[in-house]
Structure 1
């Protein structure tokens, strides 16, 4: 960090360093046997050394990110938080520190007691609580307020006049204000400059560069009495707002949100139709996206190859992997999703009401980036999305092939959502579109349909007071998407990246015939979660970790199965990897799935 700060200085960049604070760092870390407080105290000398080095190198202030202080349990560690910042404040260091919070409201009164020079607060995602606390006199006027007024998480242009009014309100309660985005801008794409979007929508968008322009317009207005840029942005926003993107009528009430029969009757009908063996095996959906697959897709999108050449390639890959799955001995097959670059962007390209950018990449995690679609209008299904590939795959085998769809909650959570209508309405619009695709697959003879919801848990609000409504809406949307099928059509869902304990009841309420869950790294804990509620639907707990190239042994998979069967009815249990196989190499996939199937065959013979 020190080297990078000095490098910025060498380029004449007046940068401020950013570091994750000790409270957040320890709270989000694992390991060690000491108490939370002991771990924080152990780190403080190291933090102080780093911070002092940055100040000595010329840092005017240092942003210390403490987003953990906006969560439910933050009051439990206020004592250690105050102790930590009292320690760091010695020798005048405190006045150089700015505690930054984001994504929710913070306890402004408590933060004002800390020995730091400034506080960063989110005035976009706080439901107005931060502003109300400041108006109640909870903010220490001697500190600098770093006001997050421009949305750092979504791509819509700011109501610049409303932001001006907010600044004027804040000025009544503190003399020292810095305006900034509500969070880091890593959540949004870089710039609109190279996009070729329809002007009517583009005028309402604001990526990272444009958000900085919005801040600059407000700075010029307040500091220089220069309204030129402000007036232009205000006019642009008003032009966008004068349009209506609410053009469709929806009959949500006419679509079923409960299956025709309870699960026992459905299972009987599905067993009679599918004829699956004991401990049925399947995969989660995707197979390796090789360099060749990606090249064909890129060449097709850039019109370097014909539709026929691309479709011929897709069919050859589907046929090859259907044979691989049959040779290995899997029971329920998948087509492999070779036509899909991303499980949400693919649907964004095909559903009305979405737009997909050319260069709107954002970091997902590590070196992985995604290009979230933008929901700008009413969502509508206009034609089959996945039927052609799925039906072709099914034509190659007598075994059932799963239709593979992304669920409404995940599509919404992994898109940039519109803000002119309530979130629940958008989610239900997507659910109706997915319902149309589910019915199209069923009508085409597909017997098993998987509707993935990997983002259901990650969308859970930070504050528990909002959990119940979020989960109620999520369950309703999923059931809106999946409940119209016949009893003998089997609905699967998949979830990953999750700690499920606090949402286990909602998972049960989804009423999916089979749920597969990424569990290999926390197997025992998750099994206990399902045992605690007497889970009585089909379930596949991932028996090996697909995130590693390592091939599991038969003993490891057998142990995972045996552990699961201690808690889960054998007639309900499925055996599968813990997630999709998109990022693995072909030889790794073949070897691991062969071990999985061979292990299951031995278990069946016992």
Structure 2
């Protein structure tokens, strides 16, 4: 019996977010590039040492990235947009940051490449750009350098590559003259060179990730898989190809997969309802290695190792060698549960982070080799005791869910009638200006929250100081002449974590950081039980902000689908039921905000598209309950109360009709990085309500000019009636500093004023 443990990737941020700190210091010119590189090297070394110590047999190399792994692949392939190229075409680490952050070698403005969600996760990637002039060539040696690094430490390694077809699929054609598949031969020749370099280093296995195999692919793309892997196989010499799939079942593409020229296949078993490993084994060629993704890389619950012991034990009789692994990269998991000193011990016993997931693989392998489940029973016992815990179940919540089972949560009147009442009450100008919600999270604000959390500041003094910041935020917005104001969210660390902390049914970590993109990390809440609201969450501070101005202040909430998607969900209840529990809790908050005199309430749902199942046949069902959950969260509000939502960085074309079905009065949406394709899409579907199309990219430090924003706004007016347009940034401003924020908003407001004036002249 030969069992090999491996994982598809490990978190790259460092146990104390060392990478984030180093990146931001480098961007602010506080450390040199060499110092940044040294920190990355230390993180990689520690990651490999930890995995080896924990019993991982085959260590992934190439899972580290300075921003995101798709962008790393673009660098390796030399796929650099002209606007980000240096004068001598030299490609280096700064080039990578130019592409992701929107600056050029001279420091001048150069729009960042688009950023999208990585499949149905909250991880983001920088979208590759393809034009008629795109030529791939091996250009960046990071992968090979890291391989040599790991080999110098004596590790048994498995290089990780994003597959050529997934890379092309995830990219964007920037003109009509290019077809992505026309670039296939060129990109395959670069992969051939990379494999040649791996052969020189006597690498046994290379992991090639092709997650798009979990999608419904067109025939020409499926045919391209046959062609591509035959080409790679014929040029691989001694190296073995492990084709890696994840995030979904690939059963629907298995007929094509069986014909691929590869040496092994990794299957995300957890994404399929089929856990019959004997049947799965019979579906793949006998000469292939089978790698089983049975440890959940996307959630934090302990694995029922006893269950998998018996499943795999049956399989071993039919297959002499298998790999046991994580379902996907552990990039999506916090690093080490042992760092959590404040967690309730009972709750903590239910969890498994990246380090513990490596331990799970070791324990399972050991048990299979020794045919002894004693250690597995001890490990898995908390899973069963949890099912009886009073921290999990609440009868009142279950009863309330039953009461709304047949409810259709629509507004009282249609938008066309509601908007008349809203305009009369709000008295806003045409092209009203606003922001998405958050303002810069300064060091002072972060220290203030930290002092409160660590009990260096009592609640009364903390609230006083928070109110002082809100007062300043309102003054700043008044001086900028914004039309609809926000309180700025100084009390909120994260848009989901904050609400989780004020709802029952959640648990929280102190160091459970997960990378979202670049230096942006989040600490997802963990949904451990039935969810409900037992006291107001935002009322006091929003009411205070509204008392400071005659202009409307938006109540700011995070929507139920986003709270679900950006948390680690429980696995003993359907996502539909969890989301409806959250929606009912938010509904209580919405109605109380309205009763407190707040006339605009924004319920953000940036994760609506993210939650979409990868298979088309499953999407309609999800979208139905997701839309219903959002509408349930604001069910019962008056017609004169204006409901807003915000969405960003997703493939809107997949859900455009469902965005319409949300029936919000105003949607603010990211368009600053996107082309006119989204505008055409919204026009094609005749988007009926009001819309704020993000007029500048907040993820770039560049200050947008009035001239550029005016051009963009005039473009928007060609697609939508001016009476239904708002002017706003494309996302929240928490990651920017105040100088950038005020200068950008000043230009934004001035743009709106100039366009209003031009329109009056034309009349």
Aligned-residue offset at 1:131: 5.1
User: Deviations for 1:173-198, whole angstroms, at most 9, x for unmatched residues?
Assistant: 53321111111111111121121322
Give the deviation of 1:523 after TM superposition.
4.8
Q: 2:346 aligns with which of 197, 200, 217?
A: 200
Contact 2:694 2:729 (C-alpha < 8 Å) held by counterparts: yes
Secondary structure, aligned partner of 2:676: helix
Distance between the aligned counterparts of 2:152 and 2:582, measured in 1?
50
Out of 579, 584, 597, the residue aligned to residue 749 of structure 2 is 597
Aligned to 1:50: 194
Partner of 2:75: none
Residue in structure 2 matching 1:70, options 199, 202, 214: 214
Q: Is contact 1:300-1:307 (8 Å) kept?
A: yes
2:268 aligned partner? 122
* Mapped pair 1:584 → 2:736: yes
Paired position in structure 2 for 1:360? 512
- For residue 444 of structure 1, report the CA deviation from its aligned partner: 1.1
CA 1:38–1:488 in 2, change beyond 3 Å: closer, same or farther?
closer
Structure 1's 34 and 507: CA in aligned 2 closer, same or farther, altered over 3 A?
A: closer
Distance 1:521 1:91 in 2: 39
Instruction: Write out aligned runs for 1:182-197 (5 A).
Output: 182-195=327-340, 196-197=342-343
Please state how far the C-alpha of 1:92 moved relative to its aligned partner.
Answer: 5.6
Q: Match for 1:163 among 279, 288, 308?
A: 308
Whole-Å Cα distance in 2 between the matches of residues 487 and 115 of structure 1? 61
- Give the one of 153, 163, 166 matched to 1:21: 163
Let me know the Cα RMSD of the aligned residues: 2.0
**2:366 is equivalent to residue 220 of structure 1:** yes
Query: What SS is found at the alignment partner of 2:217?
Result: helix
Bigger mean CA deviation after superposition, 250-259 or 97-106: 250-259
Give unmatched runs, 5+ long, in structure 2.
1-142
Q: Of 243, 247, 261, which residue of structure 1 is paired with 2:394?
A: 247
- Measured in 2, the distance between the counterparts of 1:52 and 1:223 equals 35
Contact 1:543 1:577 in 2 (8 A): yes
- 8 Å Cα contact 2:206-2:239 kept in structure 1: no
1:499 Cα offset (Å): 2.2
Further displaced range: 87-96 or 146-155: 87-96
Deviation at 1:379, TM superposition (A): 0.3
Q: 1:465 to 1:173 in 2, by over 3 A?
A: farther
- Asked whether the equivalents of residues 313 and 368 of structure 2 are also in contact (C-alpha less than 8 Å), the reply is no
Aligned position for 1:180: 325
SS at match of 2:485: coil
**CA, structure 1 residues 113+173, in 2 after alignment: closer, same or farther (shift >3 Å)?**
farther
Partner SS for 2:412: coil
Higher relative contact order (CA 8 A, sep 6+): 2
| Aligned twin of 2:585 | 433
CA 1:173–1:463 in 2, change beyond 3 Å: closer, same or farther? farther
Number of aligned positions between the proteins: 605
Structure 1 unaligned spans of 5+: none
Distance of aligned partners of 1:267 and 1:49 in 2 relative to their CA distance in 1, 3 Å threshold: same
- CA distances 1:364-401 after superposition (whole Å, capped 9, x unpaired): 11222111000000000111111111111111001110
Equivalent position to 2:448, from 291, 296, 310 = 296
Q: 1:49 to 1:492 in 2, by over 3 A?
A: same
Contact kept, 8 Å, 2:432 with 2:727, in 1: the verdict is yes
Of residues 22-31 and 445-454 in structure 1, the stretch that sits farther from structure 2 once superposed is 22-31
Q: Aligned equivalents of 2:168 and 2:754: distance in 1?
A: 45
Shift of 1:75: 4.3
The alpha-carbon deviation at position 593 of structure 1 amounts to 1.5
Question: For residues 402 and 94 of structure 1, what CA distance do their matches in structure 2 show?
Answer: 62
Displacement of 1:43 after TM fit?
2.1
Work out the CA distance in 2 between the residues paired with 1:521 and 1:130: 44
CA offsets 1:62-98 (integer angstroms, 9 cap, x no match): 1111112221116432332222222222366375111
Matched, 1:105 2:267: no
Aligned to 1:283: 435
SS of 1:521 mapped into structure 2: coil
The 2-side partners of 1:377 and 1:236 are apart by 15
Distance 1:434 1:270 in 2: 22
Q: Is residue 430–residue 723 contact of structure 2 (8 Å, CA) maintained in 1?
A: yes
Aligned twin of 1:558: 710
Correspondence 1:231 to 2:380: no
In 1, the alpha carbon distance for the partners of 2:238 and 2:484 equals 61
8 Å contact from structure 2 (residues 302, 380) kept in 1: no
CA gap 1:132/1:104 in 2 versus in 1, 3 angstroms = farther
2:48 paired residue number: none
d(CA) in 2 for partners of 1:500, 1:237: 38
Structure 1 contact 18–63 (Cα < 8 Å) conserved: yes
Structure 1 residue 230, shift from structure 2 partner: 1.6
Q: Is the 8 A contact 1:159 1:237 kept in 2?
A: yes
Which of 145, 153, 159 pairs up with 2:290?
Answer: 145
* 2:15 aligned partner: none
Query: 2:41 maps to which residue?
Result: none
Q: In the alignment, which residue of structure 2 is the partner of 1:481?
A: 633
Please say which of residues 187-196 and 143-152 is displaced more in the overlay. Answer: 187-196
In the TM superposition, what whole-angstrom CA distance separates every residue of 1:506-537 from its partner, at most 9, and x where no partner exists? Answer: 01111111111011222522221221122221
CA distance in 2, matches of 1:143, 1:479: 49
The aligned residue for residue 6 of structure 1 is 148
Distance 1:603 1:88, change over 3 A: closer
Distance 1:88 1:366 in 2: 31
Deviates more, 1:550-559 or 1:388-397: 550-559
Q: TM-score with structure 2 length normalisation? A: 0.76
CA contact (8 A) 1:103 1:126 kept: no
Query: Using a 3 Å threshold, how does the CA distance of structure 1 residues 241 and 175 change in structure 2: closer, same or farther?
Result: farther
Give the SS at the match of 1:83: helix
1:251-266 alignment, distance < 5 Å: 251-252=400-401, 253-254=403-404, 257-266=409-418
**Could you tell me which residue of structure 1 aligns to residue 419 of structure 2?**
267
Seen in structure 2, the aligned counterparts of structure 1 residues 203 and 220 have a Cα distance that, compared at 3 Å, is same
Which whole-Å deviations, capped at 9, do the CAs of 1:453-503 have from their partners, x for residues lacking one?
Answer: 011112211111111111111100000001211111111101011221121
